[in-house]
Amino acid sequence: MRVLKYLLVLIVLVAIAAGVAAYLGAGRVYESYKGYDTAEVFVEVAAGAGPATIGQRLVEAGVVRDEMTFRGAIWMSGRARELKAGEYHFDSAMTPMDVIDKIARGDVYRRRITFREGLTIPEMAAVYEQSGFGTAADFRKAASDASLIKDLDPDARDLEGYLFPETYALPRATPASALVAQMVGLFQKAVTPAVRDGIKAQGLTVREAVTVASLVEKETAVAEERPVVAAVYLNRKRIGMPMQADPTVIYALQLAGRYDGNIRRDDLQFDSPYNTYRYPGLPPGPIASPGRAALEAVANPADSEYLYFVSRNDGSHIFSRTYEEHSRNVREWQIEFFRRQRQKQ
């Protein structure tokens, strides 16, 4: 009889303890918690990880108070099967229910990487490596996969010119191949039906249009000048005049590992198919990645007869129709301008 009495008391105590635990647990799932001392922590949820493993990682990182609280939150949320793999970023106190919601939504941490207009593949590869995503070699290898652009440019040997300059938000472990595919995808969207119609109206292939756009991108950053610069190169192409574009010489020297930041007179005769001072017509392909505005400028160039332009040394250019006009502009804005600058010193 006494044993039965003790057993009943024990059962009651266990029930009370379970009730208290349940009460406390239910309260804690809505209680904000931050158990890490650093400004932020990252938690990697591996593919195929179950709720128990995920809860353990969150507790170890100080994101959730304890595993029992996490189990209670999972049970109450009913989202055990929704938890998604990825890297998650935490930088403030959160309730276990909010933590579960974040992981169930797949709100993985993303870092930003920006490629500005006018970069070459090696320059983009350097940005990729400097941003901590991977090695430059990995990016260059991914950018050599010309199959990604075969539908638009069957002659492409790599993706030079087709990696769209933009700011990309990526999970930290994004491989170069996935980023490159995304960049090509954005380029394809930028070549809208209207742009394609404009390219066709100019009598250009997509490859030729992107090549001209890359020249435009390298020559000017002034928005209103882009259609005019495009017109200059298209006018030269139409009449069989050499492109004589300094950026193509730079690109040729870069490919050969000989560019040191300056173009010398002898460089204008450097033997490369990309050197448009030595070889007529457009270079074999794009020399950089043009942005949307440069592509649109080639599809809709200015209605002008300009064949020449020279820098005003402030980022803008002065345009001319004849070589005589151009010679006067060169004297004014290059020879005399720098002579005056030296005199002021």
pLDDT (mean) for 48-76: 95
**CATH code of the region 15-104:** 3.30.1490.480
* Range in 27-31, 110-114, 178-182, 329-333 with the lowest mean pLDDT: 27-31
Work out the burial of residue 39: count CB atoms within 10 Å of its CB; fewer than 13 is exposed, 13-18 middle, 19 or more buried. Answer: exposed
Q: What pLDDT score does 280 carry?
A: 94
Could you give the CA distance from residue 295 to residue 298 in angstroms, rounded to a whole number?
5
What confidence tier does 102 reach under pLDDT thresholds 50, 70, 90?
A: very high
Q: Could you tell me what percent of the chain has a pLDDT over 70?
A: 92
CATH for 110-190, options being 3.30.1490, 3.30.2450, 2.60.40, 3.30.70 = 3.30.1490
Residue 172: predicted pLDDT: 77
243 vs 8, higher pLDDT: 243
Is the predicted pLDDT of residue 330 greater than 70, yes or no?
yes
In the predicted model, is pLDDT for residue 21 greater than 50? Answer: no
| 71 close to 60: Cβ distance less than 8 angstroms | no
Confidence of residue 15 (pLDDT cuts 50, 70, 90): very low
pLDDT at 1 (0 to 100): 55
Q: What are the tens digits of pLDDT across the range 187-220?
A: 999 999 999 999 999 999 999 999 999 999 999 9
pLDDT of residue 18: 41
For residue 286, give the nearest of 131, 193, 165 by alpha carbon: 165
Per-residue pLDDT averaged across 88-99, rounded? 96
- CA nearest neighbour of 231 among 284, 162, 291, 308: 308
Distance between CA atoms of 68 and 70, rounded to whole angstroms?
5
Q: What is the pLDDT of residue 139?
A: 98
d(CA 159, CA 215): 16
Distance CA(196)–CA(206), nearest Å, equals 8
- The yes-or-no verdict on residue 105 having pLDDT over 60 is yes
| pLDDT tops 50 at residue 11 | no
Tokens of residue 126, six digits: 């350097």
Q: How confident is the model at residue 42 (pLDDT cuts 50, 70, 90)?
A: very high
Q: Using N-to-C axis directions, what is the helix angle for 193-201 and 292-299, rounded to 10°?
A: 40
Residue 17 confidence class, pLDDT cut points 50, 70, 90 = very low
Mean pLDDT of 35-53: 94
Instruction: Assess whether the region 15-104 and the region 110-190 belong to the same CATH fold.
Output: yes
* For range 166-194, the mean pLDDT: 94
Q: 132-146, pLDDT tens digit by residue?
A: 999 999 999 999 999
Domain ranges of the chain: 15-104, 110-190, 193-306, 307-345
Q: Tell me the pLDDT of the chain averaged across its residues.
A: 91
